[in-house]
């Protein structure tokens, strides 16, 4: 059975969520985004959500053991049996090691790590204009506006700005990315899994490159 086990990586606001929507639709992959899972826990007011919110609002990473537990649980489900797309995980070397161990135990391997890159100034512009629906559908007031201002095209819910999208929090998140997540670029490069993409062009153009690479990875896996 062919499996496509993929990671989407990149700085905050690089366009991971935007591209994930297209990838999951075209390739039928279950999608696990730690940021979305954590925000759902915050909305539901669970103990995990209350604890995670403190870190998220400060632009810090939630402790490794919390997110590792969430992802290991998701990968063990029937839904993820034929493949998955991870977004926002792993974000630290201990998380990447834990993912490697979990996949080994399941007798599986990663097919590729898709890194979307964008300069810090562009990221600040993008995040300041980002609006999201209750279900996590992503818009941008200028680059990708909804048909009706402030309303989600898909489910009609009101669009809001994320609590961690304030300029000072975005700068902190970028610093955390450079310090704690960029070591994973060399980590996956050494494993021969890294594929880098320029996230600066418009979303459709970025997607063409991603789609071509993922199609190749799938053909290689089926061969
Ligand atoms: P998370 O939700 O993962 O946030 P992030 O990585 O900071 O990424 P974003 O969701 O901000 O950006 P994106 O790359 O998806 O960009 P988007 O497509 O929306 O994490 C949030 C927090 O949760 C973390 O800070 C941490 O506290 C915690 N957390 C999560 N995972 C964790 C982990 N593994 N360990 C510990 N803690 C964890 O695009 C951005 C905007 O730009 C949108 O408005 C979009 O419309 C627009 N846009 C997208 N592409 C383009 C383009 N090509 N051109 C123009 N505009 C574009």
Cα(198) to centroid(ligand 1), Å: 16
Phi, then psi, of 87 in degrees rounded to 5: -130, 120
For residue 85, pLDDT over 60 is answered with yes
pLDDT at 1 over 60: no
109 is catalytic: no
Decide: helix, strand or coil at residue 139.
strand
- Do the beta carbons of residue 115 and residue 195 sit within 8 Å? yes
Distance from the CA of 216 to the center of ligand 1, in angstroms?
Answer: 26
Angle, CA of 92, 22 and 166, to the nearest 5°: 55
Average pLDDT, the chain: 94
Mean predicted confidence (pLDDT) in 68-73: 92
Q: Residue with the nearest Cα to atom 49 of ligand 1?
A: 15
pLDDT reported for residue 222: 80
Question: Residue 52: pLDDT above 80?
Answer: yes
206 contact partners, CB below 8 Å, separation of at least 6 = 15, 19, 116, 197, 198, 199
The yes-or-no verdict on residue 92 having pLDDT over 90 is yes
Average pLDDT over residues 1-14: 90
**Three-state secondary structure call for residue 194:** strand
Task: For a ligand 1 pocket test, name from 138, 180, 200, 206 the mutation site with the most ligand atoms within 8 angstroms of its C-beta.
Answer: 138
E-assigned strands of the chain?
A: 4-9, 31-33, 83-87, 112-117, 130-132, 138-140, 194-198
Q: What is the pLDDT of residue 84?
A: 96
> What does the pLDDT read at residue 2?
62
């Amino acid at each position: 059975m062919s499996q496509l086990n993929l990671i989407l990586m990149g700085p905050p606001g690089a366009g991971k969520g935007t591209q994930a929507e297209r990838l999951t639709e075209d390739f039928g992959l279950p999608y696990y985004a730690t940021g979305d899972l954590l925000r759902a826990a915050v909305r539901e007011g669970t103990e995990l959500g209350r604890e995670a919110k403190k870190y998220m609002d400060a632009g810090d990473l939630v402790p490794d053991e919390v997110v590792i537990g969430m992802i290991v649980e998701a990968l063990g489900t029937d839904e993820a049996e034929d493949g998955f797309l991870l977004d926002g995980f792993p974000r630290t070397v201990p998380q990447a090691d834990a993912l490697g161990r979990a996949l080994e135990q399941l007798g599986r391997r990663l097919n590729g790590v898709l890194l979307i890159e964008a300069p810090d100034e562009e990221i600040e512009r993008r995040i300041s204009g980002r609006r999201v629906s209750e279900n996590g559908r992503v818009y941008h007031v200028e680059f990708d506006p909804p048909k009706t201002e402030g309303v989600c095209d898909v489910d009609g819910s009101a669009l809001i700005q994320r609590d961690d999208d304030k300029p000072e929090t975005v700068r902190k998140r970028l610093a955390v990315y450079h310090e704690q997540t960029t070591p994973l670029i060399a980590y996956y490069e050494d494993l021969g899994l890294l594929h880098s993409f320029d996230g600066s062009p418009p979303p459709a153009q970025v997607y063409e490159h991603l789609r071509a690479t993922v199609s190749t990875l799938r053909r290689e896996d089926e061969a």
